[in-house]
Amino acid sequence: METPKQQELKIEMTPEVAAGHYSNFAVISHTPGEFFMDFIMVAPNMPQAKVQTRVIMTPENAKTLLNALGENIARFEKAFGPITHRKPAAAPAQGKGGIPNPFEA
């Protein structure tokens, strides 16, 4: 039995999209049918931050993204060494004007 050929997917990217958006903060929420990922750039000593990009995905696609990100982080760490979390030398106490980190337990 002959294996069907996998169709090649051509992906187009405009220069505006290729420029990208920097994000150092993310907020993730969900409904039963979608995951909402808001990517934000937080600047020091700024009382407000603007959402740069919102990505909405099905739960299945969000889990596929999670797995792909895990695989890519493993490849990165194999090539460049472990990624460690850096903390500022004088981190402000929680609730004392610091920006909360949603990735810390």
pTM: predicted TM-score of the whole model, two decimal places: 0.70
Query: What's the pLDDT score for residue 6?
Result: 79
Nearest to 34 by CA among 55, 51, 19, 56: 56
For 46, the token pair is 């700024």
What pLDDT digit, counting tens, does each position of 53-100 carry? Answer: 999 999 999 999 999 999 999 999 999 999 998 876 654 555 555 555
> Residue 105 — pLDDT band, cuts 50, 70, 90?
very low
What pLDDT digit, counting tens, does each position of 4-47 carry? Answer: 777 899 999 999 999 999 999 999 999 999 999 999 999 998 89
